[in-house]
Amino acid sequence: MRADARKNYDQLLAAAREIVARDGAGASMRDIARQAGVGFGTMYRHFPTREALLEALLRTGFDAMAARADDLEASSAPDEALVTWLRETIAAAHAYRGVTASMIAAIEDPRSALHGSCVAMRSAGARLLAQAQAAGLARNDIDGTDLFAFVGALAWLADQPALAPRTDRLAGIIVEAILMRDLRNPGVMPSEPSSPVDG
């Protein structure tokens, strides 16, 4: 890759990060090329489709969340690892407004440029879920794709200005349901031995 091409590539990615954060996944391609100081044709040479551009933009973040899952798996209890990973992943997805739909469409389309990153992230979450399930800390009737679906739905909530402030609390309710916890009484701490945990 020639030096000028490399520079254009980097500038396009930087511009895309800025414009997509401002205007969402449907941002104007022309705006991105303009912001990068590059001709439209150059942009299409580097990224033949909008999805290819989003892919390059998201791969870094996705790979980071997959790696984060590994760290959490090693350092935390299975349930806490899962909770932390879910919260951070929702927050990360929210950083790219509106991309969640493309992300989810990519997971079952092997031809999509986003496919690899999506599958890797789903696997990372699925591993954490399996750990929690093996420890008897999470319900057994959901899988990694269900987890992915919840992340997507909650990231979508975070994208709605009217609902964003409630996202954390609603995520908490879903996490409770996944972890089979019962935290309904706000005054009672989970340290109280209220549930029968016999095998």
From residue 112 to residue 151, the character string flagging contacts with its own copies as x (rule: CB under 8 A) and all else as - is ---------------------------xxxx--xx--xx-
35 forms part of the interface with DNA (CB under 7 A):
no
Contact partners, residue 103, CB within 8 Å, separation at least 6: 58, 93, 114, 118, 152
From residue 5 to residue 34, the character string flagging contacts with DNA as x (rule: CB under 7 A) and all else as - is x--x------------------xxxxx---
* CA nearest neighbour of 70 among 62, 59, 81: 81
Return the number of the residue (2 or 169) whose C-beta is nearest its own copies.
Answer: 169
Return the number of the residue (35 or 102) whose C-beta is nearest its own copies.
Answer: 102
Q: How many residues line the site for DNA (CB under 7 A)?
A: 21
d(CA 119, CA 108): 9
Return the number of the residue (3 or 197) whose C-beta is nearest DNA.
Answer: 3
Dihedral (CA of 185, 186, 192, 197) sign: positive
Tokens for 33, please give them: 């090329």
Question: Which segment (44-52, 68-76, 92-100, 160-168) binds DNA by CB under 7 A?
Answer: 44-52
- What is the number of helices (H) and of strands (E) in the chain? 9, 0
Contact partners, residue 192, CB within 8 Å, separation at least 6: none
27 forms part of the interface with its own copies (CB under 8 A):
no
118 in Cβ contact with 183 (< 8 Å): no
Return the number of the residue (25 or 147) whose C-beta is nearest DNA.
Answer: 25
Question: Which segment (42-50, 57-65, 125-133, 189-197) binds DNA by CB under 7 A?
Answer: 42-50
* CA nearest neighbour of 82 among 157, 119, 134: 134
d(CA 86, CA 145): 13
Using CB under 7 A, list all residues that contact DNA.
1-2, 4-5, 8, 27-31, 38-42, 44-46, 48-50
Using CB under 8 A, list all residues that contact its own copies.
101, 104-105, 107-108, 139-142, 145-146, 149-150, 152-154, 156-157, 159-163, 166, 169-170, 173-174, 176-178, 180, 184, 186
